[in-house]
Chains A and B, each alone.
Chain A
Amino acid sequence: MKKIKSIAALSLAFLMMAGMAGCANTSGGDGSDGNAAAGGEAGTTAAAGGDTGAASSGEIKEFTAFFAVPGNELNSDNRVQNAIAEKIGAKCKETWLTGQTAEEAIGVMIAGGEYTDFIVGSSGSTTLIDAGALIPIDQYWDNYPNVKNFYSEAEWNQIRNEDGHVYIIPQFGNVYMYDTGTIHNDEAFWIQTRVLEWAGYPKIETLDEYFDVIERYLEANPTMEDGTPNIGYEILTDDWRYFCLENAPFFLDGYPNDGCCIVDETTHQAIDYNTTPTAKRYFQKLNEEYKKGIIDPETFTLNYDQYIAKLSSGRVCGMVDQHWNFQDAENAIKQQGLDNCTYVPVGVVIDKGIEERYHSESALDATGGIGITVSCDDVEGAMKFLNDLLDPEILTLRNWGQEGVDYLVDENGLFYRNEEMRKNAVDQAYLNANMCPYSYFPNYEGMNHDGINACNANNQPSEFFEALPEPVKKCFEAYGVQTYTQMLNPSKENSPWFPMWSYSNAFTTETPWGLAKVNMDEVKHEYLPKVVISEDFETAWNEYLTVYNDRCDTEAYLNALTEEVQRRIAIAEGN
């Protein structure tokens, strides 16, 4: 009996040990595999020319990519992806950030030392470059003109790392020819067309005028047709989306969206927009409107879903937001047939005479982009893949799909879609199975390379006018414009330092200015709503200022930004 039990115990112990040893063994195997791969890397790189040749003769290479942003995974038998793969002999399996922050995901990857072939670090980009995880693209790009010519020399200089190499290719904001510019996708004060129609399409220039129209409308129309009460103004403050509350002051002062500060055009100094007299007047106005009941009383406790729900009901007359942030709500409004409750942008400033700059041209964000990692054992192949994806034919496949299936072409070469194609284009399940935009690989905006069509369907003017609701058309007519962007001032040429947010986004708490930024966000997120709902504005405003000045080292923050402005000017001037 004793023997049996000790045998039993021993064998159990043995089993557990064996399990662990087994693991240890496989890990050993893994390690040597890794070495083999690393050793082989040089070989493949050397023989890269031959490799690419082989690829075109039928075999399809498969690359891997990780994007440290949330996104939608495509099916592996995706139709357009296969069509592209047939043409260029390569495809890429894309994985996205899930339930983690970008820094966490990137940190784990660096620690483990294993990467996908392509990587987008998002806010972890700097960490990736620092860790030596990316290969210098500029050493390989001579044979790949589409990559090399994706940006001008001056633009590449902005992207270069301190060591002079290019490690990442920013994917967005590269306009081919010109921006078709129908939709203002960015921030503005938005107002419903029914409000403008009711008021007889007045010219709205200032913050006071904007609220005045809404106030008068609300007084005359306290409820919607079905009896639900109208809401004058909504402010979203959910987490990082609280820009809808806090960043209006720089727009009101006529500056473009630098995000983190105002840059003085003449002195090139960074200025804090959070405490300017304009900021005070703006928040005082919000405070007054809140007291009058124009602003939704529960606006500051809404999360994003509920904000979208309120907007979707068509009850909300106006708000500050970026268009992409409430696009879904607008779709819901249209679905209910409440077309006169959709929004148009107005370029509101604090005092008459200030020139508003809500609409900016797409700008280069030099701090984020796609890179090829040191784990990639076929760098030439990866470069070829990037190069091929920028080929005009492939670009059309990525952005429009396959001719005859996803879009049609008329006798003038103009692309258009029929009703079913339009429906498919918003059906996520259909998109996952059929369309392959390679959305985080470099792509163009503006025009297609044929010079006739827009780069993608959403910006195709004909498609745009087709989908435009009647009340918006009427509104545009009344103001003598044709598109959303024309509701605002035409964009000016971007300053060499624009946009400053591409710099401040990479701040970390290691630096005094990075810490200042987090603290500023914390204080503003807490105190600005308090200021707006306060019974006594002056006291609340002063309390905000006290805490703000106490907790935030704005001096370090502004100095860092000013320095960056100078640096960017110097690069632009070619020094």
Chain B
Amino acid sequence: MTNKYKVPPQIEHNVKSVKDIGKGKNAFLSRRTTGDIIFDTVNLIIMILFTITMLYPLLNTVAVSFNDGTDALRGGIHLFPRMFTWDNYKAVLSKELMPTAAKISVLRTVIGTVTSTFVTALLAYVLSRKNFIFKKQLSLIYVITMYVSGGLIPVFLVYKALGLTNSFAVYILPGMVSAFNMLVIRTYMNGLPESLSESAEIDGAGHMTIFIKIIFPLCMPVIATVALFTAVGQWNSWFDAMLYNRMSDNLTTLQYELMKLLSAVTTSGKGQTAQSMEHASGMVTPTSVRAAATVITSLPIICLYPFLQKYFVAGLTIGGVKE
């Protein structure tokens, strides 16, 4: 509990008062009640159990990824490989397009996340203005987009007409404004005290100034959340690479390369004749290569979270408001 109110140094100047409160609370908390102790013990046990169940699948995947492919078919591998090998990683990393794919994945994640988060936050700002006359209409227009879709072929045709096929832009533009993320940010903005923007308005600040200088910084926890959602979405998506950029090897992404490995086994074989299956069967990707590919493609994005966690610190926003 003590550290819950610890404030990262870079914004310390904003939140002196909170820090003081935190100190006071420290002293107060040292007198823990029996209830507290029971609660914390139970909580600790729950968290340990929870962690184990959540960690197991990944550890298992890592174990399988280091195990010989044919041997792994037998199953029964849990936390440690039975026949250790680097071959699966070699098989995945030896795929020729991996360096290009990694570059494009990083680029689309960075550019896509920065643009989308900013633009979505801007829309959220517009729609969080209480007196904006088209607030309701514009919100509705965006809410609807979450539940309707023209379908695969019409969307493809529109993007093609826009010149988005075989282009990097197809990774950025279609997902630039997300209704879901906008609503999440707007909800957070609605929770901020109105006095903030009002006083700025009296000082003569324009909307863009208020948004960039005041509201956006105050929304860091939710911005971090949305950035995380967007980054993970960008990193994990492969369908767009497959559908729009299939023939452009220089625009392939890591997840698409992974999917190519996976799909040899997961795509339904309906319509495949026995004879054609014979020709495909030698190509079925072993489970262990799948596991290696999963580890390789998910590790980088998993590492993102700890960096964003510093924004999930209580007191940050309200501290600013208090000043």
Direct interface between A and B, CB < 8 A: yes
Chain A positions within 8 Å of B, measured between CB atoms, are: 1-2, 4-6, 8-9, 12, 19-20, 23-30, 64, 66, 69-73, 75-77, 95-102, 104, 107-108, 111-112, 116, 122-123, 172-173, 185-187, 239-241, 257, 304-306, 308-309, 312-313, 322, 324-325, 327-329, 331-332, 335-336, 362, 365, 368, 428-429, 432-433, 439-440, 501-502, 505
Q: Is B130 an interface residue (CB 8 A)?
A: no
Minimum CB–CB distance from A73 to chain B (whole Å) comes to 6
In the bound assembly, the distance between CA atoms of A107 and B151 in angstroms comes to: 12
Which of B74, B206, B265, B270 has the most C-beta atoms of chain A within 10 angstroms of its own C-beta? B74
* CB contact under 8 A between A362 and B275, given known A5-B206, A71-B283: yes
* CB contact under 8 A between A70 and B270, given known A108-B153, A172-B275: no
Can you show 25 pairs from A to B with CB atoms below 8 A apart? A2-B206, A4-B206, A9-B207, A23-B162, A27-B163, A30-B165, A72-B283, A73-B260, A96-B260, A99-B263, A101-B268, A107-B152, A108-B152, A108-B243, A112-B156, A112-B157, A304-B265, A308-B73, A325-B281, A328-B70, A329-B73, A365-B275, A429-B91, A502-B273, A505-B271
* CB contact under 8 A between A5 and B208, given known A19-B173, A112-B160, A186-B274: yes
A101 adjacent to B247 (CB under 8 Å): no
Chain B positions within 8 Å of A, measured between CB atoms, are: 68, 70-71, 73-76, 87, 90-91, 94-96, 122, 152-153, 156-157, 160-165, 167, 169, 173, 204-209, 238-239, 242-243, 246-247, 249, 256, 259-260, 262-281, 283-287, 289
A312 adjacent to B283 (CB under 8 Å): no
A328 adjacent to B73 (CB under 8 Å): yes
* CB contact under 8 A between A240 and B269, given known A108-B243, A173-B275: yes
Beyond A99-B239, A108-B153, A322-B277, 19 additional pairs, beta carbon < 8 A: A23-B164, A23-B173, A28-B163, A70-B263, A70-B265, A75-B96, A76-B96, A77-B96, A98-B256, A112-B156, A122-B276, A240-B270, A304-B265, A305-B75, A312-B74, A324-B277, A325-B281, A335-B70, A365-B273
A98 adjacent to B263 (CB under 8 Å): yes
Pick from B71, B156, B209, B272: contact of A332, CB under 8 Å: B71
Q: Write out the residue numbers on chain B whose beta carbons fall within 8 Å of the beta carbon of A440.
A: 279
In the bound assembly, the distance between CA atoms of A95 and B259 in angstroms comes to: 13
In the bound assembly, the distance between CA atoms of A28 and B163 in angstroms comes to: 8
In the bound assembly, the distance between CA atoms of A317 and B43 in angstroms comes to: 50
Q: Count A-B contacts at CB 8 Å.
A: 188
Q: Write out the residue numbers on chain B whose beta carbons fall within 8 Å of the beta carbon of A123.
A: 270-272
A116 adjacent to B169 (CB under 8 Å): no
Minimum CB–CB distance from A119 to chain B (whole Å) comes to 12
Q: Write out the residue numbers on chain A whose beta carbons fall within 8 Å of the beta carbon of B256.
A: 98
* CB contact under 8 A between A122 and B271, given known A5-B208, A29-B163: yes
B281 adjacent to A324 (CB under 8 Å): yes
In the bound assembly, the distance between CA atoms of A112 and B277 in angstroms comes to: 29
In the bound assembly, the distance between CA atoms of A240 and B249 in angstroms comes to: 32
A70 adjacent to B267 (CB under 8 Å): yes
- Main SS at interface, chain A: helix
* CB contact under 8 A between A99 and B269, given known A29-B163, A306-B75, A309-B74: no
Pick from B70, B152, B206, B273: contact of A368, CB under 8 Å: B273
Minimum CB–CB distance from A502 to chain B (whole Å) comes to 7
In the bound assembly, the distance between CA atoms of A112 and B166 in angstroms comes to: 13
Counting from the closest, the 3 A-B pairs by CB-CB distance are A5-B206, A123-B271, A27-B163
Minimum CB–CB distance from B64 to chain A (whole Å) comes to 11
Q: Write out the residue numbers on chain B whose beta carbons fall within 8 Å of the beta carbon of A335.
A: 68, 70-71
Minimum CB–CB distance from B282 to chain A (whole Å) comes to 8
B281 adjacent to A111 (CB under 8 Å): no
Pick from B87, B152, B278: contact of A104, CB under 8 Å: B152
B276 adjacent to A69 (CB under 8 Å): yes
Minimum CB–CB distance from A391 to chain B (whole Å) comes to 20
Q: Write out the residue numbers on chain B whose beta carbons fall within 8 Å of the beta carbon of A187.
A: 274
Q: Write out the residue numbers on chain B whose beta carbons fall within 8 Å of the beta carbon of A77.
A: 96
Q: Write out the residue numbers on chain A whose beta carbons fall within 8 Å of the beta carbon of B169.
A: 19, 23
Minimum CB–CB distance from B265 to chain A (whole Å) comes to 8
* CB contact under 8 A between A172 and B279, given known A5-B208, A23-B163: yes
Minimum CB–CB distance from B59 to chain A (whole Å) comes to 19
A313 adjacent to B74 (CB under 8 Å): yes
Minimum CB–CB distance from B208 to chain A (whole Å) comes to 4
Minimum CB–CB distance from B293 to chain A (whole Å) comes to 12
A99 adjacent to B238 (CB under 8 Å): yes
B271 adjacent to A102 (CB under 8 Å): yes
Minimum CB–CB distance from A22 to chain B (whole Å) comes to 8
A239 adjacent to B242 (CB under 8 Å): no
* CB contact under 8 A between A30 and B209, given known A76-B96, A96-B260, A328-B284: no
In the bound assembly, the distance between CA atoms of A322 and B273 in angstroms comes to: 12
Minimum CB–CB distance from A407 to chain B (whole Å) comes to 17
A309 adjacent to B73 (CB under 8 Å): yes
Q: Write out the residue numbers on chain B whose beta carbons fall within 8 Å of the beta carbon of A172.
A: 273, 275-276, 278-279
Q: Write out the residue numbers on chain B whose beta carbons fall within 8 Å of the beta carbon of A111.
A: 153, 156-157
In the bound assembly, the distance between CA atoms of A100 and B268 in angstroms comes to: 9
Q: Write out the residue numbers on chain B whose beta carbons fall within 8 Å of the beta carbon of A328.
A: 70, 73, 281, 284, 286
In the bound assembly, the distance between CA atoms of A73 and B281 in angstroms comes to: 14
Minimum CB–CB distance from B88 to chain A (whole Å) comes to 9
B272 adjacent to A324 (CB under 8 Å): no
In the bound assembly, the distance between CA atoms of A102 and B276 in angstroms comes to: 14
Which of A72, A73, A99, A329 has the most C-beta atoms of chain B within 10 angstroms of its own C-beta? A99
Which of A12, A112, A187 has the most C-beta atoms of chain B within 10 angstroms of its own C-beta? A112
> Across the two chains, which residue of chain B brings its CB closest to A121?
B271
Pick from A19, A64, A327, A502: contact of B247, CB under 8 Å: A64
Q: Write out the residue numbers on chain A whose beta carbons fall within 8 Å of the beta carbon of B277.
A: 322, 324-325
Q: Write out the residue numbers on chain B whose beta carbons fall within 8 Å of the beta carbon of A505.
A: 271, 273
Q: Write out the residue numbers on chain A whose beta carbons fall within 8 Å of the beta carbon of B284.
A: 328
Minimum CB–CB distance from B256 to chain A (whole Å) comes to 7
Minimum CB–CB distance from B247 to chain A (whole Å) comes to 6
B273 adjacent to A1 (CB under 8 Å): no
In the bound assembly, the distance between CA atoms of A429 and B90 in angstroms comes to: 8
Q: Write out the residue numbers on chain A whose beta carbons fall within 8 Å of the beta carbon of B87.
A: 429
In the bound assembly, the distance between CA atoms of A435 and B95 in angstroms comes to: 14
Q: Write out the residue numbers on chain B whose beta carbons fall within 8 Å of the beta carbon of A368.
A: 273, 276
Q: Write out the residue numbers on chain B whose beta carbons fall within 8 Å of the beta carbon of A1.
A: 204-206, 209
Q: Write out the residue numbers on chain A whose beta carbons fall within 8 Å of the beta carbon of B157.
A: 111-112
> Across the two chains, which residue of chain A brings its CB closest to B207?
A5
Minimum CB–CB distance from A571 to chain B (whole Å) comes to 20
In the bound assembly, the distance between CA atoms of A502 and B271 in angstroms comes to: 9
